[in-house]
Chain A
């Protein structure tokens, strides 16, 4: 099946370039979407360093590491899938997309386990939030709660992006099995791959910022 070219484009190549450029433009806007939250996190982390270190200490570095490895592996399966469709190996491409979906759900499951731990420890921001231990102006329950507000906002929005990615890949895997994509036309798979890799890079920053920076102190 060859690509159908929409009437505003000269040829299939130009159409593909426009789609790729459009995704990169969207990703650049996403950088600022997450960037705003990260800027807020940086300012408050500098102001309430002890409280943010205490909050960070309640996160499980090993679950975070596991999830990072899971997400990096899912990026590999996406990259290999794009490669496979490039070589007209549709069955392999579809399998790799399904592997990506499974890895995406694995990530979200681990995230869910972590959220459940936070619920048990009463670390969900709100009226039932509780933080015990010695406190002062900097290391106060309210400031630790602020850390967890950032934690849930950042990881929650990231998880939402992953859910969108998983849904997109489910459709693409189905279409790949049905033979919609080939070496001639596979722009949607490639562009969705760009999105998935981007969501991966967001986690690559969230993981050290939330879990690692204070883990030695």
Chain B
């Protein structure tokens, strides 16, 4: 039987790392970095989620089948977002919306 190997110390370290990342993400958001604002915000969120999943949700000691379920959950999300945004990013502009930089979803 796989028992949780994590100790209270691991939990406190994880918690401290999460709080530091929270401060970082709020601080970085106050600076205008253009498109990089989205990238850093989502990057930090992904890192926080990774820490929570691995240490709080015990993925580091979980059986491989549980890990597969966790990874597959993320992969479905990547497929959903990736294919959808790929469609919107590459679809030719509809006539009449040529002035718009983006495709107007209501016009489709």
Residues of A within 8 A of B (CB): 13, 16-17, 20-21, 24-25, 27-28, 31-32, 35-36, 38-39, 42-44, 46-47, 49, 61, 65, 68-69, 72-73, 75-76, 78-80, 82-83, 86, 193-194, 197-198, 200-201, 204-205, 207-209, 212-217
Do A43 and B11 touch across chains, with their CB atoms under 8 A apart? Answer: no
Shortest CB distance B99–A (Å):
9
**Chain A residues, CB < 8 A from B49:** 201, 204-205
Do B76 and A208 touch across chains, with their CB atoms under 8 A apart? Answer: no
Interface size on B, residues (CB 8 A): 53
Residues of B within 8 A of A (CB): 1, 3-4, 6-8, 11-12, 14-15, 18-19, 22, 25-26, 29-33, 37-38, 41-42, 44-45, 48-49, 52-53, 55-57, 62-63, 65-66, 69-70, 72-74, 76-77, 80-81, 84-85, 88, 102-105
- A31-B57 in contact given A83-B8, A212-B25, A216-B32 (Cβ < 8 Å): no
**Chain B residues, CB < 8 A from A215:** 29-30
Interface residue SS majority, chain A: helix
Shortest CB distance A212–B (Å):
4
Interface residue SS majority, chain B: helix
Shortest CB distance B27–A (Å):
10
Q: Which of B22, B30, B52, B103 contacts A75 (CB 8 A)?
A: B52
In Å, the complex CA distance between A27 and B48 comes to 17
Do A212 and B41 touch across chains, with their CB atoms under 8 A apart? Answer: yes
Q: Which of B8, B33, B84 contacts A43 (CB 8 A)?
A: B84
**Chain B residues, CB < 8 A from A20:** 62, 66
**Chain B residues, CB < 8 A from A200:** 52
Do B26 and A61 touch across chains, with their CB atoms under 8 A apart? Answer: yes
B11 nearest in chain A by CB position: A79
